[in-house]
Amino acid sequence: MTPTRSNPGKRTLTNGQRSRDRVSEGLVTGYAFKVIRERLPCTQRGIAERLGVDATTVQGWESGRRPLTAMAAGQLLALRRRLLNYGADPRLLVLLDAAMEADSVIAYALDEGPQDGDLSCHPLAGWVFTRASTHMIAWALTGIAPAALPPAPAVTPRRRGPSPVTPMLAEPERRRFYDHMRRYAEIADRSGERGALLRRQALYLCSYDTAPDTHAWLADMRARRPVRLTHSSWSPEWADARSLATSLTRYGELDVLHGFIERGMGGDAGEIANLNYWAYWLGLDRTPRPDDSFMGDRSPRLWDAGALLRSIADRLDPDLGCVDLNVHSVWSLIVCRPGVLAADPELAQELRGRVALLLDGGSVSQQARRELDAVYYVLRLNSP
């Protein structure tokens, strides 16, 4: 969600920003900028000299006191181009978009949003978030770095003096964030299909909350909307059920996930929806989506099967709570696109090792083991 404001007047990297001090508006984006700078590597003073700004401006960007999200669009693009020319990691520059999306949600939640409960203004109500954007929000809630964040080079210089190692919000702000998400999840729940996307995404973010009552509250929200899944068609209930099932695995509740795999993906509609969602969640389908209805699209051109298989294969980790869903997704993708393994022998070999590791362990369900056996058999047929 790149800012769209522009200023045709004096073009510097500091004009066009709001004067008010609002750390919540730029915390994640500022920290992402800090990571980019440190991996160049460059000091705050050094990058300020290169960019032609004061060192205090760079400090303000990184702390969130001068939000990069408030910078005019043209100036922000110019900043990224200059960072790229100075040798910044392109993968980190791309993640600035996800960081800005995260900050938009955090700022809205901490500002409390409109008090009349107008769902149309909420940033989670009309934009389906990807893994990168969602994990950026979670970075500020848990301190865990996003999966899309490239690992730091071994030669990255150590920071001087005390410095935050994550963009994590303070505990009172995290509580305000979660309270906001709970409130709007309940408002969206009462709004029916109009609030379906906001409800689903707010519930997922609430699953990161470590408060003692979170598990019970999520279970209550699930009970409010009994899932009526069918094998022949897709509905917003399908997306809601999938998201809640994966969320509850954080609390060791696997029966809900197993029930969803059995009932929600027992037919073509559910299998296709699951793969469509994976492609969007992992960033392989780059088309912005205003709601979840794209999951029911049966077009074969939404994503590349090989790229999707490689991305999901990386999720065959016995330590993941959703590993059974990941196993089923790999099995389903190979069934849907039987030629995908023959097209990439290197991926097939890597996948064979991951499947063997899971079969040798005891971390998956019996259904997942049967699917792994089927995948392993296909891999053997495709081996040279």
DSSP single-letter state for residue 161: S
Q: Is the pLDDT of residue 232 over 80?
A: no
Q: Which residue has the tokens 């900050």?
A: 103
The verdict on residue 87 lying in a domain is: yes
The verdict on residue 115 lying in a domain is: no
CA distance 313 to 315: 5
* pLDDT tens-digit series, residues 136-163: 999 999 999 999 999 988 776 666 655 6
The verdict on residue 88 lying in a domain is: yes
CA distance 313 to 158: 34
The verdict on residue 136 lying in a domain is: no
The verdict on residue 168 lying in a domain is: no
Which domain, by its residues, includes 65? Answer: 10-104
CATH of the domain at 21: 1.10.260
Helix spans in the chain (H):
27-38, 44-51, 55-63, 73-85, 90-110, 131-142, 171-190, 196-206, 214-224, 236-248, 255-264, 268-281, 305-313, 323-336, 345-360, 366-382
The verdict on residue 228 lying in a domain is: no
With cut-offs at 50, 70 and 90, classify the pLDDT of residue 22.
low
As a dihedral over the C-alpha atoms of residue 68, residue 74, residue 79, residue 84, rounded to 10 degrees, the angle is 130
Average per-residue pLDDT for the chain: 89
**For residue 4, what pLDDT is reported?**
38
Q: pTM value?
A: 0.90
Q: Which of 76, 75, 70, 74 is nearest to 18 (CA)?
A: 70
Q: What is the mean pLDDT of residues 178-201?
A: 95
Q: In the 3-class helix/strand/coil scheme, how is 278-327 assigned residue by residue?
A: HHHHCCCCCCCCCCHHHHHCCCCCCCCHHHHHHHHHCCCCCCCCCHHHHH
Tokens of 79: 């900043």
**For residue 366, what pLDDT is reported?**
95
Count of structural domains within the chain: 1
Collect all residues with Cβ–Cβ distance below 8 Å to 227 and sequence separation of at least 6: 237, 240, 241, 260, 263, 264
* pLDDT tens-digit series, residues 79-121: 999 999 999 999 999 999 999 999 999 999 998 655 556 788 9
